[in-house]
């Protein structure tokens, strides 16, 4: 692969990239040599001309996302090499051949050296989401690489990038199969069955990132009355049922999500009357749940998508958690999460700390949760740590 253009950095602006941070901000660029279109492969150079690495360029404050460092341009085998590395990691973690789990994230952007690309594996079908035009343009090559790496384990590749590509790029992408077709949208996670709708569902269809946290919840659920707020496909709910919960209420503002939750609960616990699901706004529902629940899960959508929304997002987390602290039963357990990338672990903990103080409850931290092994964090890219959770004991 040969870059058409060179990007030269301002003097002294190469430091973070020399420490393998994959992002080149537009403010660091001195000049561009050669023709350049959004999504092109570019070479990034220091002011003295030395090569730092290669990546895809984009319009916006992150002007280049580097995926290959050093002098040598990535060769034709590059995508396959990266996908193989990603696969090997999951293989070593026991995810690719697990007896009771056939859903995992295969490629997690920067965490797998492929900034801008997400690939989730659903029992034979890989759902791709490109967040950059560069990755979208190489989707056919990625598909070839997936076939080479997964072999018989791959039945279909579905591209679901229409909504994730930067809207400014003005690309009219259509979602669709790049290889094969598949209808079987059922997967298993630790033996629990989920219907996944990658055609219409949120993100790639399922929130794989909560797998280990859902499992932890089941260990605390015995004889508890559980509220699963922001339930989406209901995962936390039937892990709670599996753990012996007395009653489980699932709440989401999306009617479609509640429908999926009901279907999934029925799939795992047919006819079980312990579960009820409600379409409601989270903040409103939490107005009046006085003493009803002794285990509450709060897993809201990202409140801040950009840095300038951070203060408002922190207020949101504070408000939400305050309501839960005020009303959870004595001896209750709160599983509370933030999946906003711009909210740091400390930001989140402070928001939850303020909420506890407002409610005036005695609160202890039992677990500090994160994202699972198939959502790895590149040590040079701390921004990749997006999922933060706290499990709290409320006296």
Catalytic residues: 339
In sequence order, which residues have a C-beta less than 8 Å from that of residue 29 and are 6 or more positions away? Answer: 7, 8, 9, 10, 63
Tell the smallest beta-carbon distance from residue 168 to ligand SAH (Å): 25
Q: Is 174 exposed, middle or buried (0-12, 13-18, 19+ CB in 10 A)?
A: exposed
Do 54 and 68 contact (CB within 8 A), yes or no? yes
In the window 115-174, what residues touch ligand SAH (CB under 6 A)?
none
Does position 236 interact with ligand SAH (CB under 6 A)? The reply is: yes
Listed as own residue / partner, the contacts of 176-184 with beta carbons closer than 8 Å and 24 or more positions apart are 178/128, 178/139, 178/140, 178/143, 179/143, 179/146, 179/147, 179/154, 180/125, 180/154, 180/155, 180/156, 181/156, 182/124, 182/125, 182/155, 182/156, 182/158, 184/123, 184/124, 184/125
Q: What is the DSSP track for 326-344?
A: HHSPTTEEEEEEE--TTS-
Tell the smallest beta-carbon distance from residue 234 to ligand SAH (Å): 7
d(CA 79, CA 89): 16
Tell the smallest beta-carbon distance from residue 42 to ligand SAH (Å): 35
Tell the smallest beta-carbon distance from residue 283 to ligand SAH (Å): 6
Tell the smallest beta-carbon distance from residue 284 to ligand SAH (Å): 8
Do 148 and 179 contact (CB within 8 A), yes or no? no
Which position among 232, 238, 325, 348 is part of the footprint of ligand SAH (CB under 6 A)? 232
d(CA 129, CA 138): 12
Tell the smallest beta-carbon distance from residue 267 to ligand SAH (Å): 15
Q: Which is nearer to ligand SAH, 191 or 301 (CB)?
A: 301
Q: Interface mask (CB under 6 A) for ligand SAH, residues 283-322, using x and -?
A: ----------------xxx---------------------
In sequence order, which residues have a C-beta less than 8 Å from that of residue 148 and are 6 or more positions away? Answer: 80, 83, 84
- Tell me how crowded residue 224 is: count the other CB atoms within 10 A of its CB: 23
Does position 205 interact with ligand SAH (CB under 6 A)? The reply is: no
Q: Which is nearer to ligand SAH, 79 or 207 (CB)?
A: 207
The DSSP H or E segment spanning 367 is: strand 363-369
Q: Which span sits near ligand SAH by CB under 6 A: 62-70, 178-186, 233-241, 305-313?
A: 233-241
Q: Which is nearer to ligand SAH, 78 or 232 (CB)?
A: 232
Q: Which is nearer to ligand SAH, 126 or 257 (CB)?
A: 257
Q: Which is nearer to ligand SAH, 41 or 103 (CB)?
A: 103
Q: Which is nearer to ligand SAH, 179 or 238 (CB)?
A: 238
Does position 335 interact with ligand SAH (CB under 6 A)? The reply is: no
Q: Which is nearer to ligand SAH, 188 or 202 (CB)?
A: 202
Number of residues interacting with ligand SAH: please give it, by CB under 6 A. Answer: 18
Which position among 278, 281, 305, 312 is part of the footprint of ligand SAH (CB under 6 A)? 281
In sequence order, which residues have a C-beta less than 8 Å from that of residue 51 and are 6 or more positions away? Answer: 43, 44, 45, 70, 71
Which position among 22, 235, 332, 376 is part of the footprint of ligand SAH (CB under 6 A)? 235
Does position 207 interact with ligand SAH (CB under 6 A)? The reply is: yes
CA distance readout (Å), 184 to 188, 194, 258: 12, 11, 21
In the window 242-271, what residues touch ligand SAH (CB under 6 A)?
252-254, 257
CA distance readout (Å), 271 to 169, 236, 262, 263: 48, 18, 11, 11
Tell the smallest beta-carbon distance from residue 257 to ligand SAH (Å): 4
Does position 374 interact with ligand SAH (CB under 6 A)? The reply is: no
> Residues in the site for ligand SAH, rule: CB under 6 A?
202, 207, 210, 230-233, 235-236, 252-254, 257, 281-282, 299-301
């Amino acid at each position: 692969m040969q870059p058409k253009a060179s990007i030269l950095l301002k003097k002294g602006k190469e430091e973070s990239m020399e420490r393998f941070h994959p992002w080149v901000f537009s403010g660091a660029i001195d000049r561009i040599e050669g023709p350049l279109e959004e999504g092109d492969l570019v070479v990034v150079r220091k002011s003295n001309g030395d090569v730092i690495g290669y990546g895809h360029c984009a319009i916006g404050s992150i002007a280049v996302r580097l995926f290959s460092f050093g002098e040598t341009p990535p060769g034709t085998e590059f995508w396959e090499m990266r996908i193989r590395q990603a696969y090997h990691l999951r293989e070593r973690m026991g995810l690719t051949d697990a007896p009771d789990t056939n859903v995992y994230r295969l490629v997690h952007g920067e965490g797998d050296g492929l900034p801008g690309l997400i690939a989730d594996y659903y029992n034979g079908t890989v759902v791709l989401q490109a967040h950059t035009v560069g990755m979208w343009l190489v989707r056919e090559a990625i598909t070839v690489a997936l076939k080479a790496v997964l072999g018989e384990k791959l039945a279909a590749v579905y591209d679901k990038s229409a909504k994730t590509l930067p809207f400014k790029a003005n690309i009219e992408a259509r979602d669709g199969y790049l290889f094969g077709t598949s209808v079987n949208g059922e997967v298993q996670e630790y033996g629990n069955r989920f219907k996944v709708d990658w055609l219409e569902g949120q993100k790639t269809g399922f929130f794989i990132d909560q797998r280990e946290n859902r499992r932890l919840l089941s260990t605390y659920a015995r004889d508890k009355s559980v509220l699963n707020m922001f339930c989406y496909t209901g995962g936390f709910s039937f892990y709670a049922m599996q753990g012996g919960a007395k009653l489980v209420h699932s709440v989401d503002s999306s009617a479609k999500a509640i429908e999926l939750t009901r279907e999934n609960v029925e799939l795992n616990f047919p006819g079980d009357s312990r579960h009820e699901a409600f379409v409601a706004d989270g903040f409103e529902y939490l107005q009046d749940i006085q003493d009803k629940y002794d285990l509450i899960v709060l897993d809201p959508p990202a409140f801040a998508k950009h840095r300038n929304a951070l203060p408002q997002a922190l207020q949101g987390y504070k408000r939400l958690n305050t309501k839960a602290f005020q009303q959870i039963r004595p001896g209750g357990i709160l599983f509370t999460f933030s999946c906003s990338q711009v909210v740091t672990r400390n930001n989140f903990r402070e928001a939850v700390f303020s909420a506890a103080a407002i409610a005036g409850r005695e609160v202890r931290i039992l677990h500090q949760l994160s994202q699972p092994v198939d959502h790895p964090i590149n040590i040079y890219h701390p921004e990749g740590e997006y999922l933060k959770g706290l499990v709290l004991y409320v006296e």
